[in-house]
Amino acid sequence: MSQVASPGPARTGPHGGTRQRRELNRAIRQSMRDLAVQLSLLTHQIGGRLDLKGTDLDCLDLIDRYGPIGPGALARRTGLHPATMTGIIDRLERGGWITRERDPDDRRAITVRLVRTRGPEILRLFGGMNTALTQISAGYTDDELAVIADFVRRTAEAATEAAAELPPA
Protein backbone atom coordinates (compact mmCIF):
# COMPACT_ATOMS: atom_id res chain seq x y z
CA MET A 1 0.00 0.00 0.00
CA SER A 2 1.48 3.35 -0.96
CA GLN A 3 1.78 6.10 1.58
CA VAL A 4 0.04 9.37 0.77
CA ALA A 5 1.91 12.48 1.84
CA SER A 6 0.13 14.68 4.34
CA PRO A 7 -0.80 18.07 2.88
CA GLY A 8 0.97 19.75 5.80
CA PRO A 9 -0.31 22.01 8.55
CA ALA A 10 -3.54 23.90 8.13
CA ARG A 11 -3.09 27.52 7.10
CA THR A 12 -5.90 28.63 9.40
CA GLY A 13 -7.56 27.35 12.54
CA PRO A 14 -10.32 24.76 12.39
CA HIS A 15 -13.08 27.35 12.66
CA GLY A 16 -11.35 30.49 11.48
CA GLY A 17 -9.83 31.72 8.32
CA THR A 18 -10.80 33.79 5.41
CA ARG A 19 -14.31 34.07 4.09
CA GLN A 20 -13.26 32.10 0.99
CA ARG A 21 -11.90 29.28 3.15
CA ARG A 22 -15.10 29.12 5.22
CA GLU A 23 -17.13 28.96 2.00
CA LEU A 24 -14.90 26.20 0.63
CA ASN A 25 -15.24 24.23 3.88
CA ARG A 26 -19.02 24.66 3.72
CA ALA A 27 -19.02 23.53 0.07
CA ILE A 28 -16.96 20.45 0.97
CA ARG A 29 -19.32 19.52 3.82
CA GLN A 30 -22.33 19.96 1.53
CA SER A 31 -20.71 17.88 -1.22
CA MET A 32 -19.84 15.14 1.29
CA ARG A 33 -23.48 15.09 2.44
CA ASP A 34 -24.62 14.88 -1.20
CA LEU A 35 -22.12 12.09 -1.84
CA ALA A 36 -23.28 10.13 1.21
CA VAL A 37 -26.91 10.36 0.09
CA GLN A 38 -26.18 9.45 -3.54
CA LEU A 39 -23.99 6.48 -2.58
CA SER A 40 -26.67 5.32 -0.16
CA LEU A 41 -29.30 5.53 -2.90
CA LEU A 42 -27.04 3.69 -5.35
CA THR A 43 -26.40 0.97 -2.77
CA HIS A 44 -30.15 0.73 -2.12
CA GLN A 45 -30.88 0.32 -5.84
CA ILE A 46 -28.16 -2.29 -6.29
CA GLY A 47 -29.28 -4.11 -3.16
CA GLY A 48 -32.82 -4.20 -4.50
CA ARG A 49 -31.64 -5.90 -7.68
CA LEU A 50 -29.78 -8.52 -5.65
CA ASP A 51 -32.42 -8.91 -2.93
CA LEU A 52 -29.98 -7.50 -0.39
CA LYS A 53 -30.26 -4.66 2.09
CA GLY A 54 -27.72 -1.84 2.19
CA THR A 55 -26.31 -3.22 5.43
CA ASP A 56 -25.94 -6.62 3.74
CA LEU A 57 -23.81 -5.03 1.01
CA ASP A 58 -21.75 -3.19 3.62
CA CYS A 59 -21.13 -6.46 5.45
CA LEU A 60 -20.19 -8.23 2.21
CA ASP A 61 -17.68 -5.47 1.49
CA LEU A 62 -16.17 -5.78 4.97
CA ILE A 63 -16.03 -9.58 4.69
CA ASP A 64 -14.32 -9.20 1.32
CA ARG A 65 -11.73 -6.80 2.73
CA TYR A 66 -11.13 -8.33 6.18
CA GLY A 67 -12.34 -11.91 5.90
CA PRO A 68 -12.49 -14.54 6.81
CA ILE A 69 -13.83 -12.78 9.88
CA GLY A 70 -15.74 -13.83 12.96
CA PRO A 71 -19.28 -12.59 13.54
CA GLY A 72 -18.22 -10.67 16.66
CA ALA A 73 -15.43 -8.85 14.83
CA LEU A 74 -17.81 -8.07 11.97
CA ALA A 75 -20.38 -6.71 14.44
CA ARG A 76 -17.71 -4.47 15.98
CA ARG A 77 -16.61 -3.17 12.56
CA THR A 78 -20.19 -2.29 11.66
CA GLY A 79 -21.27 -1.08 15.07
CA LEU A 80 -24.23 -3.46 14.92
CA HIS A 81 -25.51 -5.53 17.83
CA PRO A 82 -24.30 -9.16 17.69
CA ALA A 83 -27.90 -10.44 17.49
CA THR A 84 -28.52 -8.19 14.48
CA MET A 85 -25.30 -9.48 12.92
CA THR A 86 -26.49 -13.07 13.38
CA GLY A 87 -29.61 -12.27 11.35
CA ILE A 88 -27.55 -10.63 8.61
CA ILE A 89 -25.15 -13.58 8.46
CA ASP A 90 -28.08 -16.01 8.30
CA ARG A 91 -29.63 -14.02 5.44
CA LEU A 92 -26.33 -13.80 3.52
CA GLU A 93 -25.70 -17.51 3.95
CA ARG A 94 -29.21 -18.41 2.76
CA GLY A 95 -28.65 -16.21 -0.29
CA GLY A 96 -25.42 -18.00 -1.12
CA TRP A 97 -23.25 -14.92 -0.55
CA ILE A 98 -21.13 -16.28 2.32
CA THR A 99 -20.15 -19.54 3.95
CA ARG A 100 -19.61 -20.26 7.63
CA GLU A 101 -16.48 -22.19 8.47
CA ARG A 102 -14.84 -23.40 11.65
CA ASP A 103 -12.11 -21.05 12.80
CA PRO A 104 -8.84 -22.94 12.29
CA ASP A 105 -7.40 -21.37 15.46
CA ASP A 106 -10.44 -22.06 17.66
CA ARG A 107 -12.63 -24.98 16.58
CA ARG A 108 -15.47 -23.68 18.80
CA ALA A 109 -15.65 -20.44 16.83
CA ILE A 110 -16.77 -19.76 13.28
CA THR A 111 -15.67 -17.35 10.61
CA VAL A 112 -17.57 -16.13 7.59
CA ARG A 113 -16.07 -16.07 4.13
CA LEU A 114 -17.30 -14.51 0.89
CA VAL A 115 -18.40 -16.88 -1.87
CA ARG A 116 -16.06 -15.62 -4.59
CA THR A 117 -18.28 -16.68 -7.49
CA ARG A 118 -20.94 -14.17 -6.34
CA GLY A 119 -18.65 -11.11 -6.34
CA PRO A 120 -18.92 -10.41 -10.09
CA GLU A 121 -22.68 -9.86 -9.71
CA ILE A 122 -22.01 -6.94 -7.39
CA LEU A 123 -19.08 -5.58 -9.39
CA ARG A 124 -21.17 -5.58 -12.57
CA LEU A 125 -23.84 -3.42 -10.92
CA PHE A 126 -21.25 -1.01 -9.52
CA GLY A 127 -19.51 -0.92 -12.91
CA GLY A 128 -21.03 2.38 -13.98
CA MET A 129 -19.85 4.08 -10.82
CA ASN A 130 -16.38 2.53 -11.09
CA THR A 131 -16.09 3.70 -14.71
CA ALA A 132 -17.19 7.20 -13.72
CA LEU A 133 -14.57 7.33 -10.94
CA THR A 134 -11.87 6.30 -13.41
CA GLN A 135 -12.97 9.05 -15.81
CA ILE A 136 -13.10 11.66 -13.05
CA SER A 137 -9.65 10.64 -11.77
CA ALA A 138 -8.20 11.02 -15.26
CA GLY A 139 -8.75 14.78 -14.96
CA TYR A 140 -6.36 15.10 -12.00
CA THR A 141 -2.60 14.90 -11.70
CA ASP A 142 -1.00 12.21 -9.54
CA ASP A 143 -0.19 14.85 -6.90
CA GLU A 144 -3.81 16.04 -6.86
CA LEU A 145 -5.06 12.46 -6.58
CA ALA A 146 -2.69 11.91 -3.64
CA VAL A 147 -4.25 14.88 -1.83
CA ILE A 148 -7.78 13.69 -2.66
CA ALA A 149 -6.95 10.14 -1.49
CA ASP A 150 -5.55 11.53 1.77
CA PHE A 151 -8.62 13.71 2.30
CA VAL A 152 -11.05 10.85 1.68
CA ARG A 153 -9.05 8.45 3.92
CA ARG A 154 -8.91 10.99 6.75
CA THR A 155 -12.63 11.76 6.35
CA ALA A 156 -13.45 8.04 6.57
CA GLU A 157 -11.30 7.78 9.72
CA ALA A 158 -13.13 10.78 11.22
CA ALA A 159 -16.47 9.10 10.52
CA THR A 160 -15.25 5.90 12.19
CA GLU A 161 -14.13 7.86 15.26
CA ALA A 162 -17.39 9.84 15.39
CA ALA A 163 -19.41 6.60 15.25
CA ALA A 164 -17.30 5.09 18.04
CA GLU A 165 -18.03 8.11 20.26
CA LEU A 166 -21.80 7.68 19.97
CA PRO A 167 -23.49 6.04 22.94
CA PRO A 168 -24.71 2.46 22.35
CA ALA A 169 -28.15 2.23 20.78
Query: What is the three-state SS of 55-81?
Result: HHHHHHHHHHHHCCECHHHHHHHHCCC
78 and 150 assigned to the same domain: no
Residue 56 domain-assigned (yes or no): yes
29 and 56 assigned to the same domain: yes
Directed axis angle between helix 54-66 and helix 82-94, to 10°? 90
pLDDT digits (tens, 9 = 90+) for 19-54: 999 999 999 999 999 999 999 999 999 999 999 999
Domain residue limits at 37: 20-125
87 and 140 assigned to the same domain: no
Residue 140 domain-assigned (yes or no): yes
Integer Rg of the chain from CA: 19
91 and 159 assigned to the same domain: no
pLDDT digits (tens, 9 = 90+) for 107-156: 889 999 999 999 999 999 999 999 999 999 999 999 999 999 999 999 99
HSE of 42, CA atoms in CB hemisphere, 13 A: 15
Query: For residue 15, which phi and psi values (nearest 5 degrees)?
Result: -120, 0
C-alpha angle with apex 47: 46 to 49, nearest 5 degrees?
Answer: 65
Residue 115 domain-assigned (yes or no): yes
Q: How far apart are CA 35 and CA 79, in angstroms?
A: 21
CB 149 within 8 A of CB 4: yes
76 and 93 assigned to the same domain: yes
**Secondary structure element (H or E) that encloses residue 83, with its range:** helix 82-94
119 and 135 assigned to the same domain: no
Which pTM value belongs to this model?
Answer: 0.80
Give yes or no for residue 71 having a pLDDT over 90: yes
CB 60 within 8 A of CB 122: yes
Residue 103 domain-assigned (yes or no): yes
Number of structural domains (the chain) is 2
77 and 159 assigned to the same domain: no
Residue 158 domain-assigned (yes or no): yes
Task: Find the CATH number of the domain harbouring 90.
Answer: 1.10.10.10
